[in-house]
Amino acid sequence: MVTGPVLQAKLDLPGSSKNLQSVREVIESTASEVGFSVDDVRKIVTAAFEAVANAVTHGSPLESKNTISITISVYADKLVVEVADQGEGFPLNILKKMPDTSSPRGRGIPLMYSLVDEVKFENNSGGRVILTKYRG
């Protein structure tokens, strides 16, 4: 039987938002409150922030006229963060592996893969990243 989330928080930001620390604070407090370890909270927050930064940088062509929607869902065994934007979506050839250190850029998405258990990208009226971290 599939059960729904025991707790859910939603946050909408304008695509031009520079107040991204607040996103980290909301995710950090939610994950901490439901008992994730300090190390897991740090990993979830870091991965989610990369998804939000990506949505600001690449997924909000109209800047403040676009909305970035963040949903944090807590289940019995996992925490899921969804970040949806109104951009063109993600390319098919997403780089999962950490690039060689000779390349300074391109670490945002590989960081997500390194820090949480599941990363999913969906293109449907914009881009959506779904990050899942299971309880230790």
Partner 1 sequence: MELKMAITMSQTPEEVSVNVTGDLDLTTINAFQTNVEQAFELRGGRKLVVDLRKTDYIDSAGLEQLLIANRKLFADSDKLLVRVAHGRQPQTVLAVTGFSAVMDVESLDEA
Binding site for partner 1 (CB under 8 A): 18-21, 24, 38-39, 42-43, 45-46, 49-50, 53, 56-57, 98, 101-105, 107-108, 111, 114-115
Give per-residue burial for 40-79: e unless 16+ CB within 10 Å, then b: bbebbbbbbbbbbebbbeebbeeeeebbbbbbbbbbeebb
Q: Could you tell me the smallest distance in angstroms from the CB atom of residue 75 to partner 1?
A: 24
- DSSP, residue by residue, 20-66: THHHHHHHHHHHHHTT--HHHHHHHHHHHHHHHHHHHHHS-TTGGGS
Of 105 and 136, the one with the shorter C-beta distance to partner 1 is 105
Of 5 and 28, the one with the shorter C-beta distance to partner 1 is 28
Task: List CB contacts of 6: < 8 A, sequence separation 6 or more.
Answer: 34, 74, 75, 76
Q: Could you tell me the smallest distance in angstroms from the CB atom of residue 32 to partner 1?
A: 14
Q: Could you tell me the smallest distance in angstroms from the CB atom of residue 4 to partner 1?
A: 31
Of 38 and 62, the one with the shorter C-beta distance to partner 1 is 38
Of 43 and 128, the one with the shorter C-beta distance to partner 1 is 43
Q: Could you tell me the smallest distance in angstroms from the CB atom of residue 54 to partner 1?
A: 9
